[in-house]
A and B are shown apart, each in its own frame.
Chain A
Amino acid sequence: MGIVLQLFTSETQLIQALSKNDAKAQRYLYDKYAARMLAVCNRYLPDRMEAEDVMIEGFMKIYQKIGQFKSEGSFEGWMRRLITNEALMQLRTKRHIEIDLDTPEAQKLPNYDQANQHLETEDLLHLIAQLPTGYRTVFNLYAIEGYSHAEIAEQLGITESTSKSQLHRARALLQQMLTNLEGEKDDYSNFKK
């Protein structure tokens, strides 16, 4: 592995080697980004095995389309886009992205500072996984990936207003979940005391 790292000291060298279908470069890219890309897939697909399959398919696309990468943006951002598109394709093929419209507003806002300190990545992934598919997809695309509502509407085949409403309801649900989680943690800490 040390030899491999020495070979690809810069990103451009790595991309050049990948464009030549260099096996060492492919392995190096996988070792460096597989865990991050699997987390991306898992945000859209709560099933870990399914997310892993999509990640593998996404890496295949990265290896195949490496020649299309232009060094204008970040290489990781380009890879994340490909992986995200692959996850969305999986959602489209296997199940429809249901659009839920009747979600109650959160009655109580959570304490975000406390949540930021106590909640771990696994907890947040668990919360997102509990969202309906439509909410989860729009929230992931907008809040985490940074897509605009127009891009989301184009990707999912919905209107921008639907995307906005889905995002609004996803936030409300997450706030409610965070508040409930805070209450459980407070109860747990009080129980420990």
Chain B
Amino acid sequence: MKKNQTDDLFGRKLRQAEISPRPEAWEKLQARLQTEKRPLAWWQQRGPWLAAAGLSLLLITSWVVWKNQTPKQPAMAQNVPQQPKVNVEPKQEVAKFAQPNNNLAATMRVAEMPLRSLPTNTKTPQNQPTAPEIKLGNIAQQTKTIEPKPAPNVVETAPAAQPVVEVAQAQATPPSVEKTVVLQLPELPKVALGAKELADLPLIETTPVEDTRKGSRFARLFRQVKNAKEGQRVEWNEVGVNPNKILAKVTRRDNYK
């Protein structure tokens, strides 16, 4: 086979042929090896892993931050009406509704005229911080009913701004005043009884009194709404709602009616 003879001749002679390279060849190869090793630093070899780790770390931190922020927002929303903002909002509303308050105050004063003449006014101021807390709102709205029993305490303590504010919040529209007065009539005896009992206890401090006032405000507002709707009571400690929204709902209901 002539083909195989040619292939065999060249295959046998050249398969194990050797040509010595120049000494410079190893130097070139060594230089290539060094240049190849240089870029293979740790951050290049593990670059993808580092990128994945960094991305995961970023995602985890962002998730943690997001999770920490999300509960804070409702907490802030709940706290805002309770402590600082409620104090500010009624002050603003006081200025807004100064005229209707003055009218109400005038009516209250008119109703209180005979009470001031009573001699019991001198002793009551000590118990005033407790009694007005619960009563002021009701009294301000219901001047006629309260006057006979504990009204004198309320009138003299004259945190006039606070009861006025409550009235203003609950009664954005003047026609609603008449409705609320009628609706809260059944609550009066309870409040009056509590006031009497609390009047005998002079140990109540001022700071918790403010909290109870705030709670009582919401409760009264919502009771007004609930009573307007169904006539049922609602516990307001469990429900955090902006009083302005409640006010808007109340006024709308009244207007729709």
Contacts and interface: CB of A to CB of B under 8 A. Distances in A.
Nearest to B26: A30
A142 B10 CA distance: 11
A149 interface: no
A143 interface: yes
28 contacts: A23-B33, A26-B33, A30-B26, A35-B20, A35-B21, A38-B20, A38-B25, A39-B17, A42-B19, A51-B19, A55-B25, A56-B29, A60-B29, A60-B33, A60-B36, A109-B2, A112-B9, A115-B9, A116-B9, A119-B13, A121-B17, A124-B9, A124-B14, A144-B10, A171-B3, A171-B6, A175-B6, A178-B9
A89 interface: no
Interface string B1-40: 0110111111111111111111001101100110011000
B78 to A, nearest CB: 62
Interface string A99-116: 000000000010010011
Nearest to B17: A39
Interface of A: 21, 23, 26-27, 30, 34-36, 38-39, 42-43, 48, 51-53, 55-56, 59-60, 63-64, 109, 112, 115-116, 119-121, 124-125, 128, 139, 142-144, 168, 171, 174-175, 178
Interface string B220-247: 0000000000000000000000000000
A121 B25 contact: no
- Most central of B6, B11, B32, B37 by chain A CB within 10 Å: B6
Q: What 10 A-B pairs have minimum CB-CB distances, sorted nearest first?
A: A35-B18, A143-B7, A39-B17, A112-B5, A38-B19, A39-B19, A121-B17, A171-B6, A56-B29, A35-B20
B106 to A, nearest CB: 97
Contacts of B19: 35, 38-39, 42, 48, 51
- Most central of A34, A120, A174 by chain B CB within 10 Å: A34
- Most central of B10, B20, B26 by chain A CB within 10 Å: B10
A138 to B, nearest CB: 12
Interface residues of B, number: 28
Contacts of B22: 52
A55 B37 CA distance: 19
Nearest to A33: B18
B33 A175 contact: no
Contacts of B8: 112
A90 to B, nearest CB: 15
Nearest to A80: B15
A59 to B, nearest CB: 6
A33 to B, nearest CB: 9
A52 B14 contact: no
Contacts of A142: 7
Nearest to B27: A56
A144 B14 contact: yes
B33 A63 contact: yes
